[in-house]
């Protein structure tokens, strides 16, 4: 059964294009190691909740937007093996002096088993 890695992350609004570049660079590497699909979504209609919402979950500041993304894997075993290879891959190592375009300290992520997968 398919397995998903989900991510919610704050990104400075001025870094949108740089974030897209980094995400587009990384996506084929995840696919090379077994991912079926990599999706990155830039927030543009995030409602303020009464108790919690996407912005509060990642402590997004006024000049930041929220990215919601997921990586689809065929199963958890493929994800575990693939994710380990991705993290060790030289292409995924930060270059000296290169800052990431997102706020990693406030990244929320986790692995999820599929419960429902309805398609139209």
* pLDDT tens, residue by residue, 89-111: 999 988 887 788 888 899 999 99
Contact 95, 64 (CB under 8 A): no
* Sheet with 37-42, edge to edge strand ranges: 37-42, 64-73, 3-12, 108-113
- Whether the pLDDT of residue 61 is over 90: the answer is yes
Dihedral angle sign, alpha carbons of residues 78, 33, 2, 102 = positive
Residue range 43-56, pLDDT digits in tens: 999 998 999 999 99
What rounded mean pLDDT belongs to the chain?
94
Mean pLDDT of the region 18-42: 97
67 pLDDT above the threshold of 80: yes
For the chain, which residues make up each domain, given as ranges?
3-113
What does the pLDDT average to over 60-75? Answer: 97
Distances (CA, A) of 9 to 6, 69, 85, 117, 119: 10, 9, 22, 24, 27
- Per DSSP, what are the bridge partners of residue 73? 3
- Give me the residue label for tokens 């997004």: 60
The CATH number, out of the four listed (3.40.1260.10, 3.40.50.1000, 3.30.70.100, 3.20.20.70), of the domain defined by the range 3-113: 3.30.70.100
């Amino acid at each position: 059964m398919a397995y998903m890695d989900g991510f919610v992350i704050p990104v400075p609004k001025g870094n949108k294009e740089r974030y897209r570049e980094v995400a587009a660079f990384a996506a084929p590497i995840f696919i090379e190691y077994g991912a079926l699909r990599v999706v990155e979504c830039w927030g543009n209609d995030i409602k303020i909740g009464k108790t919690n919402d996407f912005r509060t979950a990642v402590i997004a500041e006024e000049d930041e937007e929220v990215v919601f993304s997921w990586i689809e894997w065929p199963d958890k075993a493929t994800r575990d093996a693939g994710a380990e290879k991705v993290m060790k891959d030289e292409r995924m190592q930060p270059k000296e002096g290169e800052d990431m375009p997102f706020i990693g300290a406030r990244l929320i992520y986790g692995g999820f088993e599929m419960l429902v997968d309805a398609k139209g």
